[in-house]
């Protein structure tokens, strides 16, 4: 019989959606996560030195060349102490930029995670509840990084190609939870 239901198979999206709703969870809209991610990128722009790195590099080259000039010209006039001090001072100024951190752009990274201990308790409970209902579900932690500093994470449940956002938090503050 063609429509007897014996060959009826739920898609990964349907299975994940039904497991979420049977668990009593209210999933976070993916558009909310997209807006949140865009807002966080806007709030964490790259630093001034990163945005002007070409001009900064040219200025640094000019200062280093000036340090050579300040060293050579007084030496040719037999002013050794002045040439040495002026050359070293300009060289120190030109190379001092190497010792200051440059804040680059913030970037989102996702990684699979099985350790839910890094997730706030309320979001972890939702994830464990979903995992009991649908044992094959996996979790992905998304994190905003800016120069090796984790700024703003979120947790997504994945089942095959289907994804559901379970929570977004910032430090101890939960922004949204399923």
For 1-16, what is the mean pLDDT? 65
For 75-89, what is the mean pLDDT? 76
Give the global pTM: 0.68
Q: What does the domain layout of the chain look like in residue ranges?
A: 12-45+105-177, 48-99
pLDDT, tens only, 83-99: 778 777 777 777 777 77
Residues of the chain by 3-state class (helix, strand, coil), percent to 5: 50, 20, 30
Q: With bands split at pLDDT 50, 70 and 90, how would you rate the model's confidence at 78?
A: confident
pLDDT, tens only, 124-178: 999 999 999 888 899 999 998 887 777 779 999 998 888 999 999 988 788 888 8
Per-residue model confidence (pLDDT) at position 46: 87
Cα–Cα dist 6/18, whole Å:
20
Cα–Cα dist 74/88, whole Å:
13
Q: Would the pLDDT of 8 be above 70?
A: no
Q: Would the pLDDT of 64 be above 80?
A: no
Q: Would the pLDDT of 2 be above 60?
A: no
Distances from the Cα of 20 to the Cαs of 48, 89, 117, 121, in angstroms?
A: 44, 65, 21, 18
The percentage of the chain sitting over the pLDDT mark of 90, rounded to a whole number, equals 22
Residue 23 or 63, more confident: 23
101's CB contacts (< 8 A; 6+ apart) are 147
Residue 78 or 122, more confident: 122
| Nearest by Cα to 175 from 138, 123, 139 | 123
Per-residue model confidence (pLDDT) at position 91: 76
* Pairing status of strand 162-170 against strand 154-159: antiparallel
């Amino acid at each position: 019989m063609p429509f007897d239901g014996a060959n009826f198979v739920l898609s990964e999206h349907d299975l994940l959606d039904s497991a979420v709703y049977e668990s009593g969870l209210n999933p976070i809209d993916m558009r909310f996560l997209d807006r949140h991610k865009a807002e966080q990128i806007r709030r964490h722009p790259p630093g001034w030195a990163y945005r002007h790195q070409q001009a900064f590099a040219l200025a640094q080259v000019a200062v280093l060349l000036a340090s050579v000039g300040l060293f050579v010209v007084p030496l040719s006039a037999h002013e050794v102490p002045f040439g040495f001090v002026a050359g070293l001072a300009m060289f120190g100024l030109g190379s001092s930029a190497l010792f200051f951190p440059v804040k680059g752009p913030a970037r989102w990274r996702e990684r699979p995670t099985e350790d839910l201990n890094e997730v706030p308790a309320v979001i972890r409970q939702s994830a464990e509840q979903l995992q009991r209902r649908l044992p094959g579900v996996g979790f992905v932690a998304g994190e905003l990084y800016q120069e090796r500093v984790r700024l703003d994470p979120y947790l997504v449940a994945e089942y095959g190609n289907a994804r559901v956002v379970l929570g977004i938090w910032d430090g101890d503050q939960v922004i949204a939870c399923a």
